[in-house]
Copies of this chain bind each other. A is one copy, B any other.
Amino acid sequence: MNTQEIANKLVEACRTGKSHEMQTELYSENAVSWEQEGGNFDVKTEGLAGIRKKGEQWQSMVEEIHSSEISDPIVAGNHFSCRMAYEVTMKNVGKIQMEEIAVYEVNDGKIVSERFFYPTAPQK
């Protein structure tokens, strides 16, 4: 699959809540996941097993996902980007709105990195 095809498949999987099932098909075993500094997760997670574990950690923090909205991807070369927005109730926190820009890197027909951008400090 080329970058556009992988982007379409991943976005479709995220929209239908099947992104975890699609990881085996779409991700390299050596994929790396990057988070913002100052957030809830390790900045760098190496390997698909670790990425799955992070997904489970996230799910364990969520009480309910009320809605989600994933934009169409924009594709440039071997990267693509999309907007992800969620309304979720987090355990012990309550209902929050989350928005992030996700950037994915593709090589040899697989996602080799994902990187998420969101606020981690109070915004002025």
A residues in contact (CB < 8 Å) with B = 71, 74-85, 99-101, 103, 105, 107-109, 117-119, 121, 123-124
CA distance A77 to B122 in the complex (A): 12
Q: Specify which chain B residues have a CB less than 8 angstroms from the CB of A77 in the assembled complex.
A: 99-100, 118-119
Query: How many copies, total?
Result: 2
Of the A-B pairs whose beta carbons lie under 8 Å apart in the complex, a sample of 29, sorted by A's number, is A71-B74, A74-B74, A74-B81, A74-B82, A74-B101, A75-B83, A76-B83, A76-B84, A76-B85, A76-B99, A76-B100, A76-B118, A77-B118, A77-B119, A78-B118, A78-B123, A79-B100, A79-B101, A79-B117, A79-B118, A80-B101, A81-B83, A81-B103, A81-B117, A101-B103, A107-B123, A107-B124, A108-B123, A109-B124
CA distance A83 to B75 in the complex (A): 7
